[in-house]
A and B are shown apart, each in its own frame.
Chain A
Amino acid sequence: VHGDIIKATRMQATNPKTPLSIFFSKLEECRDKDGYSFLEHVKEMFNRILLNPSAYPLDKFEELSYLIKLTHLKLKQPPTDKQVKEMSAYLSEKQEWVNRYLSQLKLEIHLKMQQLPPQPQGQPQAQPPVPPIPQPPSIANVIAESKMFEWAGVGLGEENWLLISNAVKRLAIQTEAKKIRFWGKILCSTRDIYVIEAKANKDEDFASIPGEDPHGKGLNENVYWITQDLLSDWQKLPDVKAADITSAREIKKMLTGNLDSPVRSFPFYSGKESALLRAQIARISAATTIVPGGIFKANPDNAKEIMPDEESAVPGYAELKGADKWVHLNANILKIGREDYPVLPEGSPDQEKLDKMKEADPVLDRLKPISEDKYGAIEPYWQKTVYGDEQQYNQQGKEGTTSYAALAFRPFRWPGAITVYQNGKWQSLYIGYGIQRGGDAFIPIGPPAVI
């Protein structure tokens, strides 16, 4: 039918005396500034509609007309050599990305375990002393924990969790750290930062700064690895100084993500963004990393250190529901920006000053229960939420009952921090801007221009 219509109109249109041809020639006089005539436009519209009527209902009539005008019946030009180059560059960029992703997925874990020397056959000889098998490092099971965090409404996406999990395992082998976990993510204004926390290795070459905590002690007990792109390498953050922390307490600044840039704030912050980042990580870790009570105990030799309590078992869900059963893992940071006061030499003139400071801001006992934290007049420091069903179930192969509910603790002071407990396992995480709640950032505005 379409063919017949075209044939008929063409015959009438070509014959110069018919009314239709006069009609068409008049229409051709209606042109726009580029010489595109009304007749061509209508023909093109009719063609499109007739070929595919369901795609162009009447509501879309104006839209179709507009789109046809945009293209002006031009044929697609063959690509220029510049476009061809861009295309091949784009394809190779894509291929490179795929290769990087694949390399992140390849994981070869070879934990170096001591092997016993082979027994010589026949004669029983005096056995050489067997060296103790070193303890495998405590590597957090990131993927299992991610399922726990998802119950609490916190997540980074399945694929990202896999990449993070592989990065944690790879760093554990490279650095030979005793304990390693995914610490969290700091959201910045241009590029976000992923952070992994590893227990510092004494063999690492970190120059110790005089007057500050040496590497592996106090606030520098953990070393932090960061990256801004999960497919790239991770870098170590430098150790934290007391001055960084005291200055960070006075400002409220969102990071840009460019770690070498200076921090523009009032009061003046002397370090770069990497120093501010490290200070905030230290503060957040100290304030928000919590563990169930009974897992650790104070070291009998040095009350300021803690060690795992071998005799204890992980408390059950019913016990841990109360906030008083949870304790802070890390020591409190004092006003001077350290965990402990420095020891001055005998007869130092500053001894009195130091004693006054110690009285005003004493070093608190380790493993402080979180129920003692205070925030404001109305709100408690820690908010507790239960996800899932709290019903107690019997366990196969174990005595006692357990609940599969997820229990989440969120501190008010540091929005973004969370600790989740589920069925005998717990983990802390931070995903946020790295700033405290409340208080106004003082950003002085310059005066208007003098005319």
Chain B
Amino acid sequence: MCIRDRLTQSTCGQALMDMLNIDANLKHVAACGDTLNLDERIQLKLALLKLQQGMDFDELLFWGRIRGTSGDYYIAIGLNYKGQYEFPKKKFYWTTSANYEFKPLEEPKNLHKEKVEELETAFTGKPDTFIHKEEQAPPVENAPPVEDNKDKEQKEVKKEDLDDTVEIVKKEPPTSFMELDRLAYVICAIENDTHVVPEGSFKLLPIHEIRRNESFKGLDKRDIKSLDKYYHFRNVQLQEKKILIETNAVSYTHLRAHETSLHLVCRLLLEKKK
């Protein structure tokens, strides 16, 4: 069963792949026409094992591939369930077909948001391609200086409020927009919109953490085609649903956890796929 999102035209059949079972899992996404060739499979397996050594994840899965004109990007996702309130923390890693070595992907910056939406060209496969180059005096172009400036700016603004003086707020210096930044946006957007899981495949523990449900045997035959049985794997974003959850919240200090059905809590937490 292949669920496809029309907008992003991505597929999440078998949600993410555990690389050890890659051959069996690839069969499930075969219906969509994409597969990994032998070279890619072996290299990715080894690269993921290498990545796992340095890091401590609950799950390290292969997220997918983004095709470019001169090379492809391969993305892995590390999930940490323990110690996270409800949904796991997602950390992305990227590599290219030039050298299979996973590197962490930075969080997307809000700076270039509008530009990403307008872009219709394909990825090139070279992460340091400039999409929009900014000429500026300090040589360093990426994240750290911008954030420092932002903090400074906030402090300045607060000070101004206290002092009641009017001063021109310093604009953050524009930074170059590279392909790697665009990649970060696109991956977050795809993950946000299309990562879905079937009902019952995850469970909420009384400590408000999510785990995979080992006793999940799969959806009923009648329910496979129904969109109601699939949920987004992220926190609720609609304001109305957030309010609903807050009013229904159960206080765990009084040990009344068993009164709320776990099933009900999961339905509220997991926003339904429209």
B-side interface residues, number (CB < 8 Å): 29
A379-B122, A383-B69 known; A155 and B30 CB under 8 Å? yes
Q: Mark B27-50, 1 if CB is under 8 A from A, else 0.
A: 100111111111110000000000
> Assuming A189-B6, A379-B69, what are 19 further A-B pairs, CB within 8 angstroms?
A62-B205, A62-B206, A62-B257, A63-B203, A66-B258, A66-B262, A69-B258, A150-B37, A151-B37, A153-B35, A153-B37, A155-B30, A155-B33, A155-B35, A189-B4, A254-B6, A379-B121, A383-B122, A433-B9
CA distance A204 to B229 in the complex (A): 47
Q: Which residues of B contact A153 (CB under 8 A)?
A: 34-37, 40, 65, 72
Jot down 16 A-B pairs with beta carbons below 8 A, ordered by A.
A63-B205, A66-B258, A67-B215, A153-B34, A155-B26, A156-B31, A157-B27, A157-B30, A160-B30, A187-B32, A192-B31, A378-B121, A383-B69, A412-B122, A431-B32, A431-B33
Interface residues of B (CB under 8 A from A): 4, 6, 9, 26-27, 30-40, 65, 69, 72, 120-122, 203, 205-206, 215, 257-258, 262
Distance to closest chain B CB from A159 (angstroms): 8
A65 within 8 Å of B (CB atoms): yes
Chain B minimum-CB-distance residue to A376: B121
Contact of B35 among A69, A154, A416, A438 (CB under 8 A): A154
CA distance A416 to B34 in the complex (A): 10
Please state if B34 and A154 are interface contacts (CB–CB under 8 Å): yes
A-side interface residues, number (CB < 8 Å): 33
Distance to closest chain A CB from B65 (angstroms): 8
Interface residues of A (CB under 8 A from B): 62-63, 65-67, 69, 150-158, 160, 185, 187, 189, 192, 254, 376, 378-379, 383, 387-388, 412, 416, 431-433, 438
CA distance A416 to B35 in the complex (A): 13
Please state if B34 and A155 are interface contacts (CB–CB under 8 Å): yes
CA distance A388 to B69 in the complex (A): 17
Distance to closest chain B CB from A35 (angstroms): 17
Q: Which residues of B contact A438 (CB under 8 A)?
A: 120
Distance to closest chain A CB from B70 (angstroms): 8
Q: Which residues of A contact B36 (CB under 8 A)?
A: 153
Chain B minimum-CB-distance residue to A185: B33
Q: Which residues of A contact B31 (CB under 8 A)?
A: 156-157, 160, 192
Distance to closest chain A CB from B109 (angstroms): 24
Please state if B206 and A156 are interface contacts (CB–CB under 8 Å): no
Please state if A387 and B33 are interface contacts (CB–CB under 8 Å): no
A66-B262, A157-B27 known; A187 and B33 CB under 8 Å? yes
Q: Which residues of A contact B30 (CB under 8 A)?
A: 155-157, 160
Please state if B33 and A416 are interface contacts (CB–CB under 8 Å): yes
CA distance A273 to B38 in the complex (A): 38
